[in-house]
Structures are given as structure tokens and as C-alpha cells.
Structure 1
């Protein structure tokens, strides 16, 4: 209805306001429902990271899993080796600062029971030195059925996760059968899967309802958003009149209740759990693995990537001070493995194992004992493109790094890192 002056009546305004409030409440309800819906996580891979991060941060190799099929409550061991690159990018925070060994899986599908690097327990953060060798081992317990791509990874402060090669693992059984029991320092046996869950859920629900009631009060009591701004403009310097004495009384009661619940909850927790141990923030020291003195030294003379042929050509100056001839058996870069089939036989672990079993060619090898020689290697495979490594040509930091695995006539393996600028070839 409209009065004689053409202005909507008070009843009409109340009706509009009521419709607006109902619409807002429906939108809020839908928002909270969507927040509570579980999200489905699919397999993840190394392709999500930039080529420079994958090639010049951490070199992973000899990654193994103890089994690829297990049931809920069964254990699996993931182990291997890694070497932080000597050519770590200057614009990326270093792994020599703060780092933590972790496992990368979609969601809480496994529980980590134990993890060690060079025999040192990894219950805290540490630092890893560039150019040094580290051996890791993680023992996991299957929690949820499914098929998962399991990756070792290292979380670096300020940089994020550096992901290693993944392996597909299938978990069977029933998630309801999962058990994770532990004994506290006081001798109490608890189920970590459910311990404290009811208490946490109750307090979360309580604070949610408590906060929602505060929001609903002001939603129903005062005009919101645009109507509120209009009302403020109408009242001008008297805009404070929108807040009544009853509103202030309600706010004071809520403030008092909030502080009371916080203090009371703290006192309750102290009385219920008088002996507690704070989360530990110190770092552990992990000494690098001992290695024999290197007998193969390599200098990268030139690196060129030919885009049309998906071919990486690297010229190397190799000095062999050992007792047997050596030749390149594998090039590993950014979790991609290019293998010289004439030297090393490598079978991919699964359909997504990033191994090109016969893609590495070596010219002017092998290098004899006490000899220095220039050799040329070619890593030719479509993986450079399918794994999104070709975007390195667009980087302002066009430096590359990789691991070379030399094999001697006596069967010994020599691990050498190379790195330097890369030149793209477009023709």
C-alpha cells in the first residue's frame, strides 16, 4: 500500500524487510550445509609444481614401497633417498632453514606411525644441507579403503611441499575396523582415532550455536547492509539511536557469558588434565649420510632443449679417477627418469611411474680410468611435455639441475649432480 504522498506504508516496509530476512537466512543455511559436505580428493601428482622447483630443489631416487596392496590396519613402509640440490633457486627459501619430512596422500587415508631420516626420528622439524645425501623411511598404517597415490614429500618453511615420486597403493577392508591405540606416559591406554572427539565436537557445536545466536539477534533486530546504510544516512548524527539500551544490555550479557565460558573451560581442562606436555617446537639435527670420496667428477659444459623433438642435449666434461670405466646409465630430473637401456634395466613400478626405460643415448662413452673426456647425452621422450616440464623455457630463471647415475664396469654406481643454464632450441 502507498499513502497519499506516494510513500510505501509501514506495513509494506515490514513485509519487504521480512522477505529479505528470510532470504538471507536461507542463503546462510545453504552456505553452512555446503561447508559441512565432505570433499572428495583424487590422486595428485608432481605436475602441479613448476619445473624449476622440481628440478632444482630436491632430487628423489630409489623410492620403494613395501607393498602395493593391503587392508585397513595393515602397515606399509615407504623408503628411499633424496639429495637437496646445490643449485637451489635463490628466490626460494632454502631447505637449510626449516624442513619437515612428510607423506603426501589424498586426505587422512593413512596414519604415520614412524618416520626417520638417516636413522634420526622425524617427530620435529629439521634442516637438510644442500648437496648432501639422506636416506628416509616412513612406516604408515592404512586407515581408509581406496586407491591412493602415495608420495614422500618435504615441507619447507616459506616454500611449501616439495613432492617426490608417487606409487599407487590399494587399501581394502572396512574403515570402521580401524584402530589406533597408544599408551600415555601415565600408563593409560587410549584410542587415538576417537580420543577427545566428543569433547571437541561438543565445544565446537556450542560455540557455533552461541555465535550464530548473536548473529541472528542482530539480523532480526536491526536492518542489515543496504537498509542499514540508508537508515544511517537518514538519522545522520543521531545514527547511534539504531542501537537501543536493550541492545547494549544484550551485548554486555553476551560479553560476560563469553569470558565466563572461556575462563570456566580453562579451569575445567586444568582440573581434568593436570599433567600435560606442550607441543614441541625445537628442531632435531640430522647428520648427512656418509659417502666415499667421489671418483667421478662432472662439469656441465652446455645444456640445450630442442622443443620440436622433445630432446634434451647435455654436453659433459667427465673425469674418472676410479679403477674401472664408467658410463651414464640414468638421468633423473624433476622426478623424471631417463634410462640408458644398454647399461641399466629399469621396469616402471606402475602405469604412472615416470620412467622412460630406453630414452637415454650416450655419445663418446664410456670414460676410462684416469681419463677426462667430453661426452654428450640425449634424453628424448614425450614426458618432457606430458609432465609439463617444457614450461621451463618461459622461466626468467632458466637454470636446470639433474642427477646423473654412472655405472662402472665393476657394477658400482656413482651419483653426481649437474646444473647450470639451459638454452632452448626452437628449430
Structure 2
């Protein structure tokens, strides 16, 4: 008897807990400050998308004001084979905790990104996203390319502050029929009514099966005792009648809702599933050729070393000014004075050393670069040494004495060094 009472209490407790979670869920909003991009695999970050020239302006806006997220990206030619390729289906997106902004416009190479597209490996694309401030707060804003079957590939982020009061937020659009609506509240009463209806139907369905307690464990034990052949004896004739009535009622509600929606909204547009084609930016002549000879990562010193042979076919001497990997920028301090914009900016201002440089016009020379910084450890890129293929990919930026930039992706196997 004590056991049965305990089970009976457990059934009611489980039902009450489920209802509590359902009702309280929409009102629970924990504080979120940034994304978990460092939780992604090192190879996913290094060998999928090279983001560069990322900028967000302005960094402080009021509710209803706009900002632009812009920059460029290059899908890596070393894209991992076990991850769905960006050449199949991808979508330009924005990463921010919660509905803090409204996306007003997004384009890649001038093409509106209202649909999915595909991006070619090794090609360069320029993007621009316009956002409108909706909710006051401080947000970590990322550009994102979502790849079908692979998930989001997250770009570098900057903090944006939105001031003002959300009550002042205004957002209206004009439909194809000329009607001006507010998407924040449009058809809200209908939405609430339908949710309430299905909630009541669900509670009624659970109520029928929980009318005779205890239910869960005793019935499970009974099914085990009776076996598959006789377990159907637990379903009574009234249970079957009520199930048929519920099924019929649900079908009537669905059909009625369908015909009502067609009558209420006779002019509609179906969801668009086709892909839009985006041509990559024109590729300039490749005047700097790079061949990786050897790449090692020295674990004790958190130092990434690459020995490479560089051929300069331009008319000016060139040297490496930046090494970018997994959204981290290692800067040659002898060429540029680039400082982190805040404590979360992934810039190693003096993290790049270059030996045996610059390379003169028409010259082929072997150089060695060292990318040294604690960011390798902080952003969990050291885990690259534990991955089965042991490969890396990064973006090298050469500059000549006229300020012209030459981009070149380098890739290859990486050997860990423990000494």
C-alpha cells in the first residue's frame, strides 16, 4: 500500500512538474553575454571559413537606430570532408543572444540574402547586414554563415550597446496588398487563441489517461506481466471510443482552421525554398605564390611555426603583415600598430614574427613565421593536435611597400612539438 501511494504521488508530481515547466518556460530568460564559439572544434574554426575586414558601425545605438555589420569571408579550400560543404546550401545570418535586433537588409556581393545560396571554396565574398535596434542592452554580435547539415560557422564579434526603451520600438511593413502591419503584434490574438485551444485539448487528453491513478509504473509492470499478445487488454472499449472522438475532433479543427485561413487571407505567398546564385568577387592576378614546407605547433611555448617558400612575381618587395586563423589575427608589429578594441577582440598585436623577409620582386625565398600568443590556449585551438587528420588552414596577408594587400590561404599537416 505504501508503494502504491508513493507511485500515485509520483504521477501527480511528474504531471505538475511538466505543467510548471511548460507555463514558466516562456518567462524564464537567463542572462547571456556571449556565444560559445570557442566550444567548436579547432578544425571547424580553422578549416571552414576565413573571416576578415569585419567591422560593426556604430557600436552604440538607440532603439530604432540602425547599424551595419560588414566584411569579407573566404570558404577554405581545406574544408573538412566529414562536414557538409558550404558549396551545397548556406545562409548568411547574424548571431546575437535573443531577439535584440531586427534584420532590415542583408547582402552578399550586392545580392539580397533572403534565400539560401552556395559559396565556392577559395573564393572571396563581401557581405553587409543592416540591423535595427529593438531591445536595450549590451550584445556580442557575430556574422554567421549557417551551412545545411553542418550548423553555424561563426565569425568574429564586437560588443554593441543599445540604449533607450523597448516600448519605443517601432517596426512596420507593408504587405503585397498594401496593408501596413506591425510584425510584433500582428494576429497576436489569433496566435494566442490557437495555442490556448491546443493546450486545452492536450490537457483533456492527458486527463483522460490519468483519470485512474496510478498509471505509469503499474501499467508498465502489467504490460511486462501480460506480454505483447495480451497487453492490449489494458485498453478498454471506452478508451478506444474516446481516442476516436479525440482524433475526429482534432481533424475537424485542423480542417476548419485551414478553410478559415484561406477565407481570411485569400492572397498569400508561399515560403521560398529556391537558392539564389551569388558570383564571387573577381580574383586578382596571383602575384605571390606560397608553398608550405613544414608546420609545427610547440606546445610549451604556445607557438605555431610555419616554414614556407614564397615567390614574389609583383614589382615591389612584399612581406607578411598578418596571419589569421580561427578568427584570431596575429599581427606583425613591425608593419602595423593594431591594438585590440576591447578585451574580447581576438587580436594578437605583436603575435607574429617573420624571419628572412621581405621577398624582393622576382625572388623565391624560404621564410619562417611564428604565431605566438596565449590565445591559442584561451580559444582551445591547441585541441587541433588531438584531431585525427592533424591539418590546419589559415589566411596569410602579404603587403608591399605601396600598401597593396595579397591574400593567400595556406594549409597542410601540422606536427605537434612537445619540447
Same fold (TM over 0.5): yes
2:215 maps to which of 214, 220, 224: 224
2:192 maps to which of 192, 196, 201: 201
1:108 maps to which of 89, 99, 105: 99
1:174 maps to which of 165, 168, 183: 165
In structure 1, C-alpha distance between the alignment counterparts of 2:334 and 2:3, rounded to whole Å:
85
- How big is the shift at 1:348? 1.7
In structure 1, C-alpha distance between the alignment counterparts of 2:380 and 2:416, rounded to whole Å:
15
Instruction: Map Cα deviations across residues 331-354 of structure 1 (whole Å, 9 max, x no partner).
Output: 001111110111122122222110
Mean Cα displacement is larger for which, 241-250 or 345-354?
A: 241-250
Aligned twin of 1:383: 375
Structure 2 counterparts to residues 140-155 of structure 1, below 5 A: 140-155=131-146
- How big is the shift at 1:305? 0.8
CA distance 1:232–1:334, shift in 2 (3 Å): closer
CA distance 1:116–1:228, shift in 2 (3 Å): same
Instruction: Map Cα deviations across residues 79-103 of structure 1 (whole Å, 9 max, x no partner).
Output: 0000001111111111111111100
The answer to whether the Cα contact below 8 Å between 2:8 and 2:213 also exists between their aligned partners in 1 is: no
CA distance 1:307–1:278, shift in 2 (3 Å): same
The answer to whether the Cα contact below 8 Å between 2:93 and 2:146 also exists between their aligned partners in 1 is: yes
1:23 maps to which of 13, 31, 40: 13
Instruction: Map Cα deviations across residues 2-46 of structure 1 (whole Å, 9 max, x no partner).
Output: xxxxxx6xxx99977865554344333333245344232331143
In structure 2, C-alpha distance between the alignment counterparts of 1:183 and 1:353, rounded to whole Å:
39
In structure 2, C-alpha distance between the alignment counterparts of 1:179 and 1:348, rounded to whole Å:
35
CA distance 1:218–1:409, shift in 2 (3 Å): same
Aligned twin of 1:83: 74
Q: Secondary structure at the match of 2:210?
A: helix
1:44 counterpart = 2:35: yes
Aligned twin of 2:409: 417
In structure 2, C-alpha distance between the alignment counterparts of 1:16 and 1:396, rounded to whole Å:
51
In structure 2, C-alpha distance between the alignment counterparts of 1:306 and 1:235, rounded to whole Å:
65
1:127 counterpart = 2:118: yes
1:275 counterpart = 2:259: no
Mean Cα displacement is larger for which, 160-169 or 239-248?
A: 239-248
Instruction: Map Cα deviations across residues 47-84 of structure 1 (whole Å, 9 max, x no partner).
Output: 12111111111000000111111111111100000000
Q: TM-score, normalised by structure 1?
A: 0.93
In structure 2, C-alpha distance between the alignment counterparts of 1:97 and 1:229, rounded to whole Å:
47
CA distance 1:384–1:230, shift in 2 (3 Å): closer
Structure 2 counterparts to residues 254-293 of structure 1, below 5 A: 254-293=246-285
In structure 2, C-alpha distance between the alignment counterparts of 1:415 and 1:103, rounded to whole Å:
25
Aligned twin of 2:88: 97
The answer to whether the Cα contact below 8 Å between 1:45 and 1:166 also exists between their aligned partners in 2 is: no
RMSD: 2.0
In structure 2, C-alpha distance between the alignment counterparts of 1:34 and 1:195, rounded to whole Å:
24
| Residue ranges of structure 2 left out of the alignment (5+ in a row) | none
Mean Cα displacement is larger for which, 181-190 or 221-230?
A: 221-230
In structure 2, C-alpha distance between the alignment counterparts of 1:13 and 1:336, rounded to whole Å:
60
Aligned twin of 1:4: none
